Structure 1
Amino acid sequence: MKTPRATRLGTLRVARRVGGKPHEGRLIAGATLYPCALGRAGITHDKREGDGATPAGRWRLLSFFLRNPAPLQAPWRLTRRDDVWCDDARSFLYNRPLRAPLRPSHEEMWRKDRLYDVVGVMDYNIVPRVRGRGSAIFFHIATQELGPTAGCVALRAADMRRLAARLGRRVEIVVT
């Protein structure tokens, strides 16, 4: 007798925690509720580079950067030590993955704090890219205390491990 496969998740719902601080959120994945971290300024409908807010909307997870291989259905690749993401709104390279060395301002994808060991790239401001509307909006690992992000959605490492294996190929994150 075959063991039934776990149901793949296609939509994750994120909202600010009622009564909480602006960066305290909740992520609903099927019947499971996870505490999550949001941008320090909470959720916004008018995202700007550097505002510290998580953009509201429906965002597809395009692909993942992983420090170590993991059982994911979504597209992924291993993170290299020289992977960076340009966050310089003055640059024509804005909001895209690149390789170091890079002169414009950028995010290091290989972080010492390991918060980017699992990084889902949300399709916010990707096509078309509008300079100054926000860059490097990711779904990644949070600090254990669920401290605020710069605008991303983040889960504790243990929660990310449990959830990542259940994600389908075309996952969306709905931020309200």
Structure 2
Amino acid sequence: MAFADGRFEGEGLRLLCALGKGGVIAPAQKREGDGASPAGIWPVRRVYYRPDKGPAPETGLPVIALKPQDGWCDDSAEANYNRLVPLPCPYSHERMWRADAMYDLVAELGYNDDPVVPGKGSAIFLHVAREGYPPTEGCVALSAPDLREVLKWLGGASLVEIRA
């Protein structure tokens, strides 16, 4: 499966997607907060979903129900950088339980996680796109129905390619 130029292609699917506002760049150039999507082939680790917003997705990946106190650390000086963290926490983070629908369904890509390199970027997800598919902060975003369809195809050995 691959994402490029705002298109998702794979398993017979051709879908519209949004990519990072900073474009698609090589991982060697990727930095925290640059708004770019990292080019490369990434494993899909697990799926998070808001149980108050819909059922768990059909997928071969591990599925975790989000809680209101879930966050994602984006502070490169912290030991939990690029990891799910409980809130409140004293360092910089994203809320996973958001007021908008973007993180109602999220697949975590295995970017900068094995090992984690401080400052190389965090929270590279497949998530729900905003209306009109505006660029993301570095993630790949699809419509909620399209993301649910893609997740049906993904399992423990699945890879996603992001390319320019």
> Normalising by structure 2, what TM-score?
0.91
Q: Distance in 1 between matches of 2:157 and 2:76?
A: 28
Structure 2 equivalent of residue 22 of structure 1: none
Q: Distance in 2 between matches of 1:168 and 1:135?
A: 22
Asked if 1:59 corresponds to 2:46, the answer is no
The amino acid that maps onto 2:31 is R
Higher strand share: 1
Structure 2 equivalent of residue 47 of structure 1: 30
Q: Give the SS at the match of 2:150.
A: helix
Structure 2 equivalent of residue 27 of structure 1: 8
Q: Distance in 1 between matches of 2:33 and 2:148?
A: 29
List per-residue Cα deviations over 1:72-114 (Å, max 9, x = no partner). 2111110111110000112222111110011111011111101
Q: Give the SS at the match of 1:41.
A: coil
Shift of 1:158: 2.0
Shift of 1:157: 1.2
Structure 1 equivalent of residue 162 of structure 2: 175
Q: Give the SS at the match of 1:126.
A: coil
Identity of aligned residues (%): 41
Match among 102, 106, 118 for residue 119 of structure 1: 106
Shift of 1:31: 1.6
List per-residue Cα deviations over 1:112-158 (Å, max 9, x = no partner). 10111111111100011111100011111111211111000110112
Gaps of 5+ in 1: 1-11, 17-24
Q: Distance in 2 between matches of 1:162 and 1:152?
A: 18
Asked if 1:102 corresponds to 2:89, the answer is yes
Structure 2 equivalent of residue 5 of structure 1: none
Structure 1 equivalent of residue 121 of structure 2: 134
Q: Is the 8 A contact 2:58 2:148 kept in 1?
A: no
Q: Distance in 2 between matches of 1:60 and 1:75?
A: 13
Q: Distance in 2 between matches of 1:43 and 1:14?
A: 10
Q: Is the 8 A contact 2:45 2:156 kept in 1?
A: no
Q: 1:169 to 1:128 in 2, by over 3 A?
A: closer
**What RMSD over aligned residues (CA atoms) do the two structures have, in Å?**
1.1
Gaps of 5+ in 2: none
Q: Distance in 2 between matches of 1:91 and 1:144?
A: 34
> Normalising by structure 1, what TM-score?
0.85
Q: Is the 8 A contact 2:49 2:105 kept in 1?
A: yes
